[in-house]
Amino acid sequence: MAATVKLSQLPVGTSATVRAFPPQGAAYLRLREMGVLPGTPVTLVRTAPLGDPLEIQVRGYSLTLRKTDAEHVLVEPLAAAG
C-alpha cells in the first residue's frame, strides 16, 4: 500500500482513497453510513473560511466534517494528484 496521510492534511483540490478508520465512535459510524468507507474515493473540495470544517466530495455529493474528525481518517492520495 502506498503512503497514507491524514484526511485533514490532504491539500485542497486533491483526491484520495480512504484507507483506514477508527472502528468505534459516533462520528465514524455516521461517516460510514454517509458512504465514506475504506476504499471510497474522496476529494477535498475546500475548507470553511476559517479553515475548519472541511468540505469533501464523496459519491457525488458534498459532505462536511471537522478537522478533529478528519485527523483520524487515513487516505492514500491519488498518484495523479501527486
Partner 1 sequence: MSDPVPEPPRPSAPAGRLPVYALVGNPNCGKSTLFNALTGLKQKVGNYPGVTVERKIGTTYSQHGRPITVIDLPGTYSMAARSPDEAIVRDVLLGRRADTAQPDRIICIVDATNLERNLYLLHQVLDLGRPVILALNMMDLAEASGLNVRVARLEHALGIPVIPCEAVNGRGLLELRLAMSRTDLPLSRHRWDIPPQIAPAVSELQASLVESDGKQPLIARAEALLLITDQDAVRVAGSTPLSPATAAMLAGWKKRWVDLDVDWSGALVNSRYEEIAKLCGEVVLRRAGGGPPVSDRIDRFVLHPVWGWLVLGGIMTLLFLSIFTLAEFPMNWIDGQVAALGAAVKGAMAPGDLRDLVTDGAIAGVGGVVVFLPQILILFFFLGLLESTGYMARAAFIMDRLMSRVGLNGKSFIPLLSSYACAIPGIMATRTIEDSKDRLVTILVAPLMSCSARLPVYLLMIAALLPGERVPVGAKVGLMLLMYTLGTLGAFGFAWLFKRTLLRGAPPLMIMELPPYRLPRLRDVLLHMMERAGLFLRRAGTIILGISIVLWFLTTYPKHGGDATAQEQIAHSFAGTAGRVLEPVIKPLGFDWRVGIGLITSFAAREVFVSSMGVIFGVEDNGSAAATPLRQALRQARWPGGAALFTPLVCLTLMIYYVFAMQCMSTVAVVKRETNSWRWPLFQIAYMTGTAWAVCFVVYQTGRALGF
Residues in contact with partner 1 by CB under 8 A are: 21, 23-24, 26-35, 37-38, 45-46, 48-53, 55, 59-66, 68-69
Q: How far is the CB of 82 from partner 1 (least distance, A)?
A: 21
Question: 29 is written with which cell numbers?
Answer: 459510524
CB of 16 or CB of 70, closer to partner 1: 70
Q: Nearer to partner 1 by C-beta: 11 or 38?
A: 38
Residue 33: in which H helix or E strand, if any? helix 26-33
The H or E element spanning position 8 is: none
Distances (CA, A) of 81 to 10, 24, 29, 73, 77: 11, 30, 28, 19, 7
Q: Which is nearer to partner 1, 9 or 25 (CB)?
A: 25
